Structure 1
Amino acid sequence: MIRVLLVDDDALTLELHRSYVERLDGFEVTGECTGARAAITALVDRGDDFDLVLLDMTMPDGTGVDVLRHLRARGSRVDVVAITGVREADVVRQMVGLGVAQYLVKPFAFALFRERMEQYRAFRQRADETAGSATQAEIDALLGALRPSAVVPLPKGLSAATLTRITEDVRAHGPVSAVEAAERLGMSRVSARRYLEHLAEVGAVARSPRYGAPGRPESEYAWRAGP
């Protein structure tokens, strides 16, 4: 299990992120902090209890940058995912320089959170499997595990924003039919089917016939598990 420390000064955000982590296989929340000083204390005193920190950037008694600088100065190698509303490029550069594994900007849907956590889990698995001197291919695979999936050019007439909505709907409710997705998202069945068929063509979803209703079998689409 990947043991997670949650750090955020907002109680509702802590509750939300706890619920997100609890929905993931292979992750468990082993600590929560509501401030920068508390986070530093927990990681200094109980560092062996945590593998990953979900770290807020803005707290009343310090910033996420402060926390991570302090930890790195003490030699801590704990992995960190920044979860914040801060979008300033300078802050992002500082966090990247301090070794964050991911940088998530609030608010975000569970689908995006799950994707980033799956990438992080794949990174840890590859790191554990790589022993001794790594080959260039192994290094590339290790670094690539943390990168977002490559962007596939969309066919003419498809919108990236709508594709994201369809993708999140399949991941949250799948297997789904075009009719079900269209009703939830407030769009036409024909449009929903076009997006679902595109996801099937690029291998993001699996298409299969749905039996049990009168008439011609309807297609349903299920998200493909895995990185």
Structure 2
Amino acid sequence: MNTEQDISVLVVEDEGIVAEAHAEYVRRCPGFTLAGVVHTGTDAITFLNASAADLVLLDMNLPDLHGLDVLRRIRGAGVPSDVIAITAVRDLAVVRSAMSAGIAQYLIKPFTYSAFSGKLAAYREYHLNLAGQGSSATQSEVDRALAALRPNVPAALPKGLSPDTLKTVSELLKAADAPMSASEVSAALAMSRITVRRYLEHLDDQRAVLRTPRYGTRGRPELEYSWRR
């Protein structure tokens, strides 16, 4: 059931299996609700003219209409829904056209749930920032809302650290039910304790984890790490 803050989403995707996967991703994202799934541009236009959807996940390659044509037609009809382009199209001309036509985000297939949910979380922040401003907003409020849509550029890693390994360590800590020590992370990932400690210290420097002493062991307390929820 929708709540006042639920963001309703229409999935527009011609491949049935992919459409259901995207629909399931939407169901898994907190604060979003699935408004419907359609498989053609014509059906998308018909749906949006008859029903409300805050956000449209729009494939660019549809069997009847190009996604840009769908976007232009719904804008011409005064449909206020925001649009995230979800597509395998990497042509920069298409990307520029989509941006100039007013899409909120551009997500290139294939992608993981993590990438998908990150885009939706950024959109949700943007949507709620604007929704909370009433009929007018200050410059700083507009800037803050638009900043939510801009991708964060990750800082360069210290020499010797791998982005893939950092992601592996991070995902282990995110999934852990309890704080983990360097020795426990080392055993779980079959990595050296010294290497693991470098990644854990980097995550601590970035304030991504909480580092606390673990008492009850012999000698100096062992440090343990938990992901900041």
Q: 1:33 to 1:219 in 2, by over 3 A?
A: same
Q: 1:119 aligns with which of 119, 122, 139?
A: 122
Match of 1:34 in 2: 39
TM-score between both structures, scaled by the size of structure 1: 0.83
1:80 is paired with a residue whose SS is strand
Does the aligned pair in 2 maintain the 1:210–1:220 contact within 8 Å?
no
1:220 to 215, 221, 225: 225
Equivalent residue for 1:203? Answer: 207
Contact map agreement 1:196 1:221 (CA 8 A) in 2 = no
> Mind listing any 5+ residue stretches in structure 2 that lack a counterpart?
1-5
What's the secondary structure of 2:226's corresponding residue? Answer: strand
Cα separation, partners in 2 of 1:207 and 1:21, compared to 1, 3 Å? farther
The C-alpha deviation readout for 1:165-195, integer Å capped at 9, x for no partner, is 4444544x24574566666766545434422
Backbone CA RMSD of aligned residues: 2.7
> 1:13-24 residue pairs with structure 2 within 5 A?
13-24=18-29
- Structure 1 residues 217 and 182: CA distance shift in structure 2, 3 A: closer
The worse-fitting range, judged by mean Cα deviation, of 30-39 and 194-203 is 194-203
Q: How many residues align?
A: 221
Q: Which amino acid aligns with 1:54?
A: L
- Bigger CA radius of gyration: 2
**Bigger mean CA deviation after superposition, 153-162 or 107-116:** 153-162
Percent identity (aligned): 43
Q: Tell me the distance in 1 between the aligned counterparts of 2:183 and 2:213.
A: 14
Superposed, 1:66-105 pairs within 5 Å as 66-105=69-108
Partner of residue 10, structure 1? 15
140-149 or 193-202: bigger deviation: 193-202
Measured against aligned partners, the alpha-carbon deviations of 1:27-83 in whole angstroms (never above 9, x if no partner) come to: 11120011222111111122x2x1111111112222211211111111212011111
Quick check: 204-213 or 59-68, which moved more?
Answer: 204-213
Q: Give the structure-2-normalised TM-score.
A: 0.83
Change (3 A) 1:185 1:30: farther
Aligned to 1:151: 154
1:41/1:187 Cα in 2 relative to 1: closer, same or farther (>3 Å)? farther
2:3 counterpart residue number:
none
C-alpha separation between the residues in 1 aligned to 2:154 and 2:142?
22
How far apart are 1:132 and its partner, in Å?
Answer: 4.5
Q: Aligned letter for 1:114?
A: S
Unaligned runs of at least 5 residues, structure 1: none
Question: Which deviates further from its counterpart, 10-19 or 173-182?
Answer: 173-182
- Code of the residue aligned with 1:198 in structure 2: it is H
Residue of structure 1 in register with 2:165 after alignment: 162
Residue by residue, what CA displacement relative to the aligned partner does 1:177-224 show, whole Å, maximum 9, x if unpaired? 4566666766545434422331222122333467899996562322x3
